[in-house]
Structure 1
Amino acid sequence: MPGTVQKPSSQDAPRVECPKCGYANVTARTTCRSCGAPLEKPPVLPVAAHPLPPSEDVGSHLFKEDDIVLLEFVSLGQQLFFPVEASVLLGREVIPSPEPIIDLGRYGAKSLGVSRQHCRLQRREKQLLVTDLDSSNFTYLNGQRLIPHRPYVIAHGDHLLLGRLHVMIYFRPPQLS
C-alpha cells in the first residue's frame, strides 16, 4: 500500500531502524530511505587520528591570500594540495563545468557516496567557504549536516564528510606544501 512503512522479513540483510519513522533500512545507508533522517551521526575524528601535527592555527578561520588547501583523506593516509583562486568543486568523474573540479575518484569517492558535483569550496575575502551542492549523500562539517546551497565557513583543521569519505581540511602557505 502506498505511503506505508514496510518492514523487511527476517530473511533480509541486516537492518537499522530509523529513529524518526521506524523504517528498517539496510545497514550501509547513512540516511533513512523513507524520510531522509540521518541514521547515525557521523563521527568527528579526534586530532590524534591524523598524522599532521596540530598547529597553533587549528580552528582559525583566516584563509590568507596565498594559502592553499590541503585535504587529508583520513582512512587512506593520503593528502591532496591545491589552490583556490575563486572557487573549486569537489566531486568525482569530472564532467564539463565552468568551475575547476577536483576529482576525488582515486580516493574511493564513488564507492563512498561522493556525488559528481558534491560540494564547492569558495574563497570569500579572508575565509574559505564550503557549500553542499544538493549531494545525494550529504556533506557534513564537524558532524553537522549542511543545508544545500548555503555557504559555511571552514576553519583550519575542520572535518568534512562527503558521503562517507572522511576528509580533514587544512590551510597551508605554499612553501610548507
Structure 2
Amino acid sequence: MAAMVNLLPWRDALRRQRLRFWALMFIGGLLMVALNLAVNVAMNMSDRALNTLWVQEARRLQQALTVREQRLAADAAQRTALAQILVRQQETRRWSLWLAAIGDALPEQAWLTALEWQGGALALAGKANRFPALAALDRALAELPGLRRGKPGATLRDADGRWQFNVQLLPGDANATSP
C-alpha cells in the first residue's frame, strides 16, 4: 500500500503565509492612514503658522499705512494752512498797496475819518473842505488799479461847512459792474 501523504503541515504553512500577507496589508494600510494623517497635521500646522505670519504682516502693514495716511493728512493740512497764510499775506500786501495809493490819491483839501473792511468791501468815510475836492477824489479813486466803486454813499454838509462823504471800494476791475 502506498504511504499516506500528510498535507496538514503544508496547509498550515499556506494559512500562515496568507495570514502574514493580510496582516501586512492591514498594517500597511494603517501605516498609510497614519502617515497621511501625520502629513495633514504637519501641513495644517505650517498653514496656521503661515496664516499667522500673514495676519501679523497685514496688521503691521495696516499700521504703517495708517501712520503714513496720518502723516499725509497732516502734511496736507499744513500745506493748506500755509497756502491760506500765503493768500492772506498776498491780500494784505495788495490792500497795503491800495491803501497807500488811496492815501496818495487824496486831494489836499480832503481827508479820511474812517476806514472799514466789511464783507469784502472797503468803506471810506471822510471830509473835504471844498466840493471840487470831492470831484477830484472821485476821479482819483476811479483811476486806482484793481479797485472799483461799490454802492455810492451819502455826501452831506456838516455844521462847520465841510463836505462829509462815504465811498465803498471793491476789489476787481474798474470796468466791472457794481453788485
TM-score, length of structure 1 as denominator length:
0.24
- Larger relative contact order (CA 8 Å, sep ≥ 6): 1
Bigger Cα Rg: 2
Identify the structure with the greater helix proportion: 2
Identify the structure with the greater strand proportion: 1
